[in-house]
Structure 1
Amino acid sequence: MLKRLTTENAMRYSRQVLLAGFDLEKQEILLNSKVLQIGAGGLGCAASQYLVSAGVGYMTLVDDDIVEESNLQRQVLHSEASLGANKCVSAQRALLAMNSTADINIFEKRLSDEELSQQIDAHHIVLDCSDNIETRNQLNRLCIQRQKPLVSGAAIRMEGQLCSFLPGTDNACYQCLSTMFTEQQLSCVEAGVMSPVVGVIGAMQALECIKILTHFGEPLSNKLMLFDAKSMDWQTFVIPKNPGCSVCSS
């Protein structure tokens, strides 16, 4: 059932609708968009709150982890009252408090290939807010198979990265990128991370998601953005498609 933009909603989202090129039609697209987000940690907390606040009508959160005290430094949807709770449950509660009209489904476990494929098919776009290479590779492979856009973010220490992978035979995928660089195996537990860095990257993931869903602006397809928080520098690099890629090249 399609959601319609009411007069009340139009007022709520008026600052977006006032943007040149972003009209009521695009806001209604957001209201009917379905976003699958893997991870409800630092990146996921930042991304999901901006998406729900911006008017994305449907979100599914997937995370099998529980809220620990060390998470509270950067995972801003969780509170002291959430300690011990599943992160999806905690995030769902906080997101609905921001926007009660949103439909937010949760999976408090890791999904198999079959389960994840079903969810990818049921959504318009996937956000990779995970923190491990196994999940990143799984999402990339299944999004290529299901021809769904993927927005990937990562943050550690004082560094962040952002990239989008869109369906298309000429477009690169995450595997094309990961073969070019040594994959960062350290986690925040081992290397640490500055709290606002995950917020910056997660918010950028939300922005990319909105742009792709509404065809507003230019997405980061075939590009990698790197953020150095120490110097506050952003750098953008082209990701060339690997003709021998085991995932996206036939």
Structure 2
Amino acid sequence: MDDDYIERYSRQLVLKEIGGPGQNLLSKARIAIIGAGGLGGPASMYLAAAGVGSMTIIDNDCVETSNLQRQIQFSTSTVGKEKSRSLSKRLIAINPSLDCKVINERINKENAKNILLDHDIIIDCVDNFETRFTINDLALDLKIPLVSGAISRFDGQVSTFLSTKDSPCYRCFVPEIPPDAETCSQLGVIGATAGIVGSIMALEAIKIITQAGSTLNGKIFIFKGLEMISKTIGLPKDLKCVACS
């Protein structure tokens, strides 16, 4: 560690739960960010700032004006440009030592394994159930920890799935696609909620990497912004789950 490195991460290095060993683990971590929007932006920016060594940004959308209200990694000048590439540039501006790979594709059953292989953690920031199911199934197959978040209106939730034999998976929580599933474009969302939930997702990833504290494995963190309350509830493994049992 040179002087610049120590200065950059000084506020983390003094934490007994992180220190030099934890910072070294962060520098070697390889994280896949699926979805470069409202959750993927804050999650990836905090991970880049924390010193994560390698990230892959996966998203096939372009920045739209309606994104700017909550996706603060973008600006008016990036409207019309690829989200994945624009976010990558933002992350490298935050931390020039970051190795950032861009994949301008939508994750699906055909390409997911090749894209997600060789990552240490998957961060699921997508907004549709079909893709979440694909990500969950691949995380189980590859035995890669998965951090999943979702937002709607003023509310959000986060859970961590360690993809181990005894842990629940996302489909223990949502076994089938809800018939009335709606997206943020239909329900609306307040931008600050994306920042709160995305930041918690980054914190979960940091704890997994450094083995600091306890994670949300087997639990769901629920945030309700209008009431300004939060709670954490247990998520037991479904012994009849179609994905993990």
Structure 1 length normalisation: TM-score? 0.94
2:186 to 173, 181, 190: 190
The corresponding residue for 1:210 is 206
The corresponding residue for 1:68 is 64
The corresponding residue for 2:89 is 93
Pair 1:178 & 2:168 matched = no
Is the contact between residue 222 and residue 238 of structure 1 (CA under 8 Å) also seen in structure 2? yes
Counterpart-to-counterpart distance in 1, 2:69 and 2:3: 38
Q: Within 5 A, what are the aligned runs for 1:109-188?
A: 109-179=105-175, 185-188=181-184
2:226 to 225, 230, 236: 230
Q: What residue identity is the alignment partner of 1:141?
A: D
The alignment partner of 2:39 has SS state of helix
Q: What residue identity is the alignment partner of 1:76?
A: I
Q: What residue identity is the alignment partner of 1:94?
A: R
Q: What residue identity is the alignment partner of 2:157?
A: Q
1:132-161: CA deviation from partner (whole Å, max 9, x where unpaired)? 101100000000011010000000101100
The corresponding residue for 1:38 is 34
Per-residue deviation, 1:184: 6.6
Counterpart-to-counterpart distance in 1, 2:179 and 2:43: 23
The corresponding residue for 1:50 is 46
Structure 2 unmatched ranges of 5 or more: none
Change (3 A) 1:45 1:248: same
1:17-43: CA deviation from partner (whole Å, max 9, x where unpaired)? 111221111101101100001000000
Counterpart-to-counterpart distance in 2, 1:25 and 1:206: 19
Per-residue deviation, 1:93: 1.2
Counterpart-to-counterpart distance in 2, 1:71 and 1:103: 26
Is the contact between residue 10 and residue 24 of structure 1 (CA under 8 Å) also seen in structure 2? no
Provide the identity percentage. Answer: 38
Report the count of equivalent residues.
245
Per-residue deviation, 1:123: 0.7
The corresponding residue for 1:18 is 14
Counterpart-to-counterpart distance in 2, 1:60 and 1:125: 11
Is the contact between residue 63 and residue 87 of structure 1 (CA under 8 Å) also seen in structure 2? yes
The corresponding residue for 1:29 is 25
Pair 1:246 & 2:242 matched = yes
Change (3 A) 1:56 1:170: same
Counterpart-to-counterpart distance in 2, 1:184 and 1:32: 41
Per-residue deviation, 1:170: 1.1
Per-residue deviation, 1:179: 3.3
Change (3 A) 1:61 1:201: same
Counterpart-to-counterpart distance in 1, 2:104 and 2:240: 36
Counterpart-to-counterpart distance in 1, 2:117 and 2:187: 35
Counterpart-to-counterpart distance in 2, 1:112 and 1:78: 25
Counterpart-to-counterpart distance in 2, 1:183 and 1:16: 44
Runs ≥4 in structure 1, deviation > 6 angstroms? none
Counterpart-to-counterpart distance in 2, 1:128 and 1:224: 14
Counterpart-to-counterpart distance in 1, 2:211 and 2:17: 10
Q: What residue identity is the alignment partner of 1:106?
A: V
Structure 1 unmatched ranges of 5 or more: none
